[in-house]
Structure formats: structure tokens, C-alpha cells
Structure 1
Amino acid sequence: MQSTHHFLSLIVPSYKKEETIVSNIRRLQEVLNTVRYDHEIIVVVDGMVDKTFQKLKKAKLDKTTILAYKRNQGKSYGLRVGMRHAKGDYVMFIDAGEEIDPNGISMLLEHMEWYEADIIVGSKRHPASIVHYSVARRILSLGYYILVKMLFGITIKDTQAGIKIFRKKVISKVLPRLVEKRFTGDLEILVVARRLGFKRMYEAPIKLNYHFAGLSSAATLSTIWGMFIDTMAIFYRDKLLDYYSYPTKRSRIGRTIKKIVPGPYMHVGQNTSQ
């Protein structure tokens, strides 16, 4: 029996997932039906580049809202779109696909209650996590943790795993200040939340199985470089401009983004059967 004490909004950013997205969402529904909170799923289709949106609409998924826009803008942009539409007092996101075991959702929810947390971060580097990825990627993850700790003083050991949960009050304060669109939106949320005084951040174990190409692939090297550049941009805004402390500073950048990214939504589909 589900409790009405909390309402969970689960955001699923998706890009080029036409082959797996429907089964992915049905699996998430199965998991959410076992937790004690009522819920909604918000699928954000990051660019109309394949048939992901059409397959979601045809599937008529219960308690599911589908948001889509024409051009690919990046995962972090998609998360912001989903957050704007979230109705829950708990707002969670999980990457589309089969790499992160969705059974970890209940673990993050329990951690929110145990710690009375503002934010719970699913972490590959938690001692109880079960992860399958290469030694090279483990070294890269450790190096990024050291960089983040040096730059921002954040002690979370894994800021980039694609599953996190927030109280709505955190999202309400943080969302107007966010800028990142692609590689480091997860980190930016944590940096801004910490800047605004939300320091009850804790890690929870996850089960994860990566299916990425080797570190030598051009796409992976481009992603690593993009993450570094975006991380330094967050550092510049946070430490040198003090940008995140004053949302009014966002006005000019916000207007610029609006010109570049018109819309923002080309299609909105809703299936909210109870």
C-alpha cells in the first residue's frame, strides 16, 4: 500500500533510446509500484533524432509524462526541463538504459529518510556498491573525485553516477541558477546546493554495469575533455564570479540561452492514468 506522505517525481533523460525506452520505463514502473510513495515518471526526450518519442506515445504508459524538443541539447538541459515539470516533494532522476539497476531507487529513498537528507547521491564508490567497469575507468573516477574535492571542497566521492534524489525545496532554490547543459550538470547541482546551504548530502550504494567503449575512443576522449572544461567553468562561476549566490546575475545569460534554444518544447505528451 502506497503512502501519501511523500510524492516522488522520477525524471528519466533519454537520448537515442528507441529500442529500449519502453521496456526501460515499464521496468521503472514495476519498481516504483513496490515503494510506499505515490509517483510520477517524467521522460525527457533530448532531441527528436529517432523514434523514442513516438514509441513512448504509442505505449500509453501509466503515470507518465513525456516531454520532447526538436534539437539535442544535452542531458543536463533535459534534467532542467524535467525538474521544471516535477510535482513531487521528492525529485529523483535516473539515466535511461540498463546500466543502473532501478532497484536502487528504494535504497536512495530509504537513505533520504534515515539521514533526513537534502540530497542523496547514488555512488559507484560507495563500499556497498556493486559495479562492473574497467580499471582505467576506476582510475578516471578517482582522479575526477580528487579534482572536484580540490576545486569545491565537496567530499561526495562520485558526483557523476546517473541516479540522485533531492527534496523539492533544494530544486526550487537551485534550478534558477543552473547553466550547464551537457557534461557536468550533476556536479553543478551539488555545487550550487552547497553554496546555498544545503549540506545534508550523503551517498548510497548502487548496482551498475557500464557498457562504454574504451578510453581510447574518440567519443570518450571528447567527453573527458568536455567534462574538464565544464568543471572549470563551474569553478570560475562559483569561486571567481560568485555567480551562484545571486540569481539576478543569471538574467543576461538566461536571455542569451533563450535566443539560442527557442521553445523549449516542441512536443508534450501526457499519460497520467491512475
Structure 2
Amino acid sequence: MQSTHHFLSLIVPSYKKEETIVSNIRRLQEVLNTVRYDHEIIVVVDGMVDKTFQKLKKAKLDKTTILAYKRNQGKSYGLRIGMLHAKGDYVMFIDAGEEIDPNGISMLLEHMEWYEADIIVGSKRHPASIVHYSVARRILSLGYYILVKMLFGITIKDTQAGIKIFRKKVISKVLPRLVEKRFTGDLEILVVARRLGFKRMYEAPIKLNYHFAGLSSAATLSTIWGMFIDTMAIFYRDKLLDYYSYPTKRSRIGRTIKKIVPGPYMHVGQNTSQ
């Protein structure tokens, strides 16, 4: 068994969350204070289009770094920024909002230890998961799983749930190769990790409650089409171009992203050491 002395970096990408973001982060802090690892929270504000950044900064959240940039770029882009700044040997992300129960964080951490895993994926389709979402979403989730398995051979049954954890060594190898900005960044990480030989990927149960009906919000037809196009783009880069084998092809990404997060839009929470 590997050492259990770990430092956890939790990345929270957010967009237009001014009404709920502070309470959301405080709830995450409560959960993280119950786990046995020290931690940091990195909130990435994906576009300064409302008062999300200002409210986070005013709240003076412990052990929390806030990163923001002016123009909306997409969740996957925000995750890459958070990963660049993560200090932990465990790097985790969870979607902002209340759809995913944050108590599942400890479950994913335990799975990392049990399986000595490289990656643990929170999965709606795990038999022990408790999920409340529409029949339409369930059909789409199943269909996307079949598509991903056919294209990439990945047997993870749910690549898109917004909670995952990685060893830092995985992020260090994968990050320079990532391209996706919006819809399918989660899948791209798994595809690249598998390509680089990180085979110890497992699923963990989550508790999820979508407060939407039908195909509203994130599951609009335009989003579905965007996911399909981006998925095929990953397939093209992976299978036809062998793109992900060569980090030098995207080595400029890190430098570019760092330039997009200038000093005035980076805020470190007060009392970060306890």
C-alpha cells in the first residue's frame, strides 16, 4: 500500500455562479475539513461576466485560491488553468453547483487508496450511485458510453460526470497534450492518460440530483451536437494523427494559459494555513 500522507488540490470551475458560489465553496470546505488530508481549493472563474469573482474575493475563504479571466473559454479550459496551479499530489475537480453531493469526495479518495489508482472517476452509472435525472438524460448517457467504448476502447461507463481525481504524475504527463476547451475535456484527459499507459482507472459511486427536466440547461441539443463534434475531434487526433503522443506539439499551451491569468485576477484566500 502506498503512503496515505497526501495533499489534495480541489479545482472548482465556475461560470455565472454569483448567487451560489460562496455557499458552495463553504460547503466544500466543511467536507474537506473532515477528510484526513490537508488540502487547497482552486476556484476558476470562467469569464468575469457577473459578480462571481468579486463575491469570492470578498468572502475571504480559507485555503482557497481564486483564478479568473475576462472572457468565457469553457469548463475544460478552466480545468487546465486550475491544474497548472495545483500543488497537491492528488488533483481533483468537482463541478460548481449542488448537483453532485460533495460528501462523495471522501468516497473517491478512499477508492484511490483501495485500488492504488491513477484515476478515479465519479460515475452516475456505478451500481451504488444514487442519481435523480430524467429518462432523456439516462438515454443520452448510455448512448455516449457506447460511442466512447466503440471509438476509444475505454470501459469507464460515465466519462462526463463532473467529479474526478488524479495523481499529480498523471496530470503532469497529460496536461501539455490537452486541446479541448469546452464540452469533452473530461474524455480527452482519460483518452490521453490511457494512451500514455495510465491504465489504473476505476469508477466510484456518487450522489447526483439534477434540478432540471428534459433536455434543458446543459443537455440542450446544441450541447449534444457540440459534444459529438468534440468527441470526433479527439478520435481524429488520437487514432489518425497520433497527436497525443507528442507533448511538444502543445507545449505552448502552458505558457499561453499563464499569460491569460494576470496578477489582478488572482486572489489567494486569507488564513491559508491552519
Query: 1:233 offset after TM fit, Å?
Result: 0.4
**Displaced runs of 4+ in structure 1, greater than 4 A?**
1-4, 216-219, 251-271
The more displaced of 255-264 and 85-94 is 255-264
Q: Does 1:22 align with 2:35?
A: no
CA contact (8 A) 2:112 2:119 kept: yes
Is the 2:74–2:181 Cα contact (8 Å) retained in structure 1? Answer: yes
RMSD: 3.0
Q: CA deviation at 1:250?
A: 2.4
- The runs of 5 or more residues in structure 1 that have no matched partner are none
Structure 1 SS opposite 2:5: strand
Q: Classify 1:233/1:259 alpha carbon distance in 2 versus 1 (closer, same or farther; 3 Å).
A: farther
Instruction: Report if the CA contact (8 A) 1:3-1:38 is conserved.
Output: no
Per the normalisation by structure 2, the TM-score is 0.92
Cα deviation digits, residues 128-154 of structure 1 (max 9, x gap): 000000111101000000000000000
Distance 1:110 1:254, change over 3 A: closer
8 Å contact from structure 1 (residues 65, 272) kept in 2: no
Residue 237 of structure 1 corresponds to 237
Tell me the number of residue pairs that the alignment of Structure 1 and Structure 2 aligns: 274
With over 3 angstroms needed to count, the CA separation of the structure-2 counterparts of 1:34 and 1:262, relative to structure 1, is closer
Contact 2:141 2:158 in 1 (8 A): yes
8 Å contact kept, 1:7–1:39: yes
Q: Does the CA-based 8 Å contact 2:65-2:266 persist in structure 1?
A: no
Superposition deviation, residue 116 in structure 1: 0.3
TM-score (norm 1): 0.92
Aligned partner of residue 9 in structure 1, secondary structure = strand
Cα separation, 1, equivalents of 2:255 and 2:86 = 23
**Residues 51 and 261 from structure 1, CA distance in 2 versus in 1: closer, same or farther, beyond 3 angstroms?**
closer
Partners in 1 of 2:33 and 2:73 — Cα distance? Answer: 31
Say if 1:264 and 1:205 are closer, same or farther in 2 by CA, change over 3 A.
farther
Per the TM alignment, residue 247 of structure 1 is displaced from its structure 2 partner at its CA by 1.1
For residues 172 and 207 of structure 1, the distance between their equivalents in structure 2, rounded to whole angstroms, comes to 29
8 Å CA contact 1:77–1:181 kept in 2: the answer is yes
Query: Residue deviations 1:71-95, cap 9 Å, x none?
Result: 0000000000000000000000000
Q: In 1, distance between residues paired with 2:52 and 2:235? A: 35
Q: Which moved more, 1:250-259 or 1:145-154?
A: 250-259
Cα 1:220–1:268 change in 2 (3 A) is farther
Cα distance change on mapping 1:262 and 1:63 into 2, 3 Å: closer
Q: CA deviation at 1:248?
A: 1.8
Query: Structure 1 residue 252: deviation in Å?
Result: 7.6
Structure 1 range deviating more: 94-103 or 242-251:
242-251
**Cα distance in 2 for residues equivalent to 1:165 and 1:101:** 15
Q: 1:63/1:253 Cα in 2 relative to 1: closer, same or farther (>3 Å)?
A: closer
> How much does 1:264 deviate?
11
CA distance, structure 2, for counterparts of residue 256 and residue 3 of structure 1: 35
Name the residue aligned to 1:160.
Answer: 160
Return the offset for 1:272: 2.1
User: Taking structure 1 as reference, are residues 253 and 61 closer, same or farther at Cα in structure 2, changes over 3 Å only?
Assistant: closer
Counterpart check, 1:203 vs 2:215: no
Residue-by-residue CA offset, 1:15-51 (whole Å, 9 max, x unaligned): 0000000000000000000000000000000000000
